[in-house]
Chains A and B, each alone.
Chain A
Amino acid sequence: MFNNVKLSLFLASKSMMKGSKSTQLLIIFIMSLIFVNLVFIGSIFLGVTEATNNQVINSLYSNVVIEPKKDEKYISDVYSLEQKIKGVPGVVGISSQYVTGATLSYKDKHGTWTVRSIDPDDEMKVTTNHNYLIAGKYLSKLDKNEILLGKEIAGGYGGDLEYSSLGVKVGDSVDVLFDNGVKKSFRVKGIFDANFIQTNTMAYISQKEMESVVGLEDKASQMLVKTRDNGNEDRYIKQFLEMGIKEEIKPWTVYAGMVKNITNSFDMIAMMISAIGLFVAVITIFIIVYTSTISKRRQIGILRAVGIEESIIIQSYIFQAMFIVICGIFIGLIIIFFAIKPWFIEHPLKFPIGLASLLILPERVSMNAISLIIAALAAGFIPSWMAVRKTIIDAIWGE
């Protein structure tokens, strides 16, 4: 067995050393591009998915969302509920909010958007929107008649919905007509760009301000709960339920239907492109090995005539295919980790869901490499197996 492998490697190495170096380098380069393509496509889609997930968590819903019980409009006893939840290990912040629809108008422009009320100190523990101010300042706990606008509402910052924006600047006064009919004027304190269109179409006012509008206290439309780690939301929800919380408790994923669709679509596209990439790799290797077996048909016959087993000859071609693919993978890894990844870190792609870079997971890279190696095995085996199927007479003296 070991001797057969040794002999196959000997034959493969001699064949490759005798072959055209420039052609082999070109083939290896093609393999490296196929591998880069496999990794890149998967990684960019993963990156976009991750960016989308992060945006939903960091700027909209945090990890866990608590909503009023069925048939109730608000959560009651918010303060005591907050204290209860804060006691759960791993909970790093809670932001209780009123969420309402409102018509904002400035001069002759107006539009309907969602207005959320927040305690800015609590909100900063739960979302990262305070980091994305592009003009003015963030809300303070004691702010009165101050409003924070997403750039799609304010306008003037190159948003995707510029046509429907108000065209206001920091310091301008906007009129807000709440769903309950209350109308108030607010000074624009700040404008933010969270790089996420859903967040950028929201306005924020302070909790105290909203309570004066809705005429309620110690209530909330929703409570956002930030946990130390992402992905373990179900465990926290279980704990909250075990504590006797009767409100509706949902993970952020429930609100991310759009994200789920994007993720599913990206997975599908990535799979299709990967399959095409692998198919191209198989065809390329097949053609290379097939051409080689055709041009070396007589030599294959001679090898068999002197007593070299067919399996050794097949193995030698498989080793040649493997060499090409492994070199291609190695060069591909260099291209990915020393050129493409650093470039994308410096120049992330801008999507409506935010900035996305490559997310290169080692397990995905390994899977791509293994897929390519398996493809090489198959593509190396089939033509060499076909070649040794011929009779020795045909191989040596046939047409």
Chain B
Amino acid sequence: MTGDEKIIEIKNLSRIYAMGEVKVRALNNVTLDIKRGEFAAIMGKSGSGKSTLLHQLGLLDAPTSGEIVFGGKNISDISESEKARFRLLKFGYVFQEYALLPELTALENVYLPAMALGRKKEEYLKAGTQVLEQVGISEQADKLPALLSGGQQQRAAIARALANDPPLLLADEPTGNLDSHTSEAILQLFKSLAASGKTIVMVTHERDITTWVSSVVKLADGKVANGSGLYD
């Protein structure tokens, strides 16, 4: 499914954190492209900058310098309101620790982004139910997150990320808190999503990830490790 069209281009991206008087360069001139339909893994040791890179891609944080180009548009310096719109429409973000809202049921968590788009009630209910079915937990729809297992919560979080059918799914160690069996099921789900045309960028520690993904980006000390960016 991977084509030549770039869905996202990262150009000389740097992120420097000030910790007191010390400046930490979490990302150092990262440049790489991600193609539409790609299932990319970002790997590296702790502190290598992989989560920081994902935060930048998801517009959860602003770069110190550099550009992120999505669909030909530089999105690194757009307004907060535009960023929110991008996160709602273009990106689905999956957190390691699920990040479901505890006062909402699984279904409500899932249809919240669709509701925020202004869809009609029957539409967002239908969309929510469909994605819950897609991730295999439709029977848990009316349960609060606290009553779901870790795997079910992560599936609900993935369903939420898919609710508005975004072209890009960003996942931050989505299997980090799951047992191997459930991790495999989640990776299988991602693989099938990639097969259906979604672009997936996933930060992971999984060593044998290459059997699942179409590309791997290795980061070390805030830089792309092989110097050329993406490699298959």
Contact = CB atoms under 8 A, between A and B. Distances in A.
Interface of A: 3, 6-7, 10, 14-15, 17-18, 298-299, 302-310, 312, 391-393, 396
A305 B116 contact: no
Contacts, number: 69
B116 A307 contact: yes
A309 B60 contact: no
B102 interface: yes
A392 B104 CA distance: 20
Contact of B61 (A3, A15, A299, A391): A391
- Top 4 A-B pairs, shortest CB-CB distance: A307-B88, A18-B103, A307-B87, A3-B118
A3 B118 CA distance: 6
A306 B113 contact: yes
B55 A309 contact: no
B93 interface: yes
Given A305-B93, A306-B93, A307-B85, A396 B116 contact: no
B84 A309 contact: yes
12 contacts: A3-B116, A18-B102, A18-B103, A302-B101, A304-B87, A305-B93, A306-B87, A307-B85, A307-B86, A307-B88, A308-B88, A393-B55
Given A310-B80, A396-B99, A305 B60 contact: yes
B80 A305 contact: no
- The number of chain B residues touching the other chain, given as a range, is 20 to 34
Question: Is the contact region of chain B dominated by helix, strand, or loop, or is it mixed?
Answer: helix
B160 interface: yes
B222 to A, nearest CB: 16
Nearest to B55: A393
B87 A305 contact: yes
A308 B61 contact: no
A310 B84 contact: yes
Contacts of B86: 307
Nearest to A18: B103
Contact of B103 (A15, A391, A392): A15
A306 B88 contact: yes
A17 B105 CA distance: 12
A21 to B, nearest CB: 14
Interface string B71-95: 0000000001100111111010101
A312 B85 CA distance: 13
Contact of A307 (B61, B89, B100, B101): B89
Given A3-B115, A10-B115, A306-B87, 9 more contacts: A299-B102, A305-B95, A306-B93, A307-B84, A307-B89, A307-B116, A309-B116, A391-B61, A393-B55
Contacts of A17: 103
A392 B60 contact: yes
Contacts of A6: 115
B102 A307 contact: no
Interface of B: 55, 58, 60-61, 80-81, 84-89, 91, 93, 95, 99-104, 108, 112-113, 115-116, 118, 160-161
B109 to A, nearest CB: 9
Nearest to A3: B118
B139 to A, nearest CB: 22
Contact of A305 (B81, B99, B103, B115): B99
Contacts of A392: 60-61
A247 B164 CA distance: 86
Nearest to B61: A393
Contacts of B103: 14-15, 17-18
Contacts of A307: 84-89, 91, 113, 116
Contacts of A312: 116
A308 B101 contact: no
Given A7-B116, A312-B116, A393-B61, A306 B160 contact: yes
A63 to B, nearest CB: 63
Contact of A14 (B80, B91, B108, B160): B108
Contacts of B93: 305-306
A304 B91 CA distance: 13
A20 to B, nearest CB: 12
B55 to A, nearest CB: 6
Given A17-B103, A299-B102, A308 B84 contact: yes
A223 to B, nearest CB: 74
B60 A302 contact: no
Contacts of B55: 393
A308 B103 CA distance: 16
Most buried by B among A307, A393, A396: A307
B194 to A, nearest CB: 21
Given A391-B61, A392-B61, A308 B99 contact: no
A227 to B, nearest CB: 63
A342 B88 CA distance: 56
B113 A305 contact: no
A14 B107 CA distance: 13
Given A309-B81, A393-B55, A302 B115 contact: no
A392 B87 CA distance: 12
A150 B103 CA distance: 71
Nearest to A312: B116
A349 B180 CA distance: 78
Contacts of A304: 84, 87
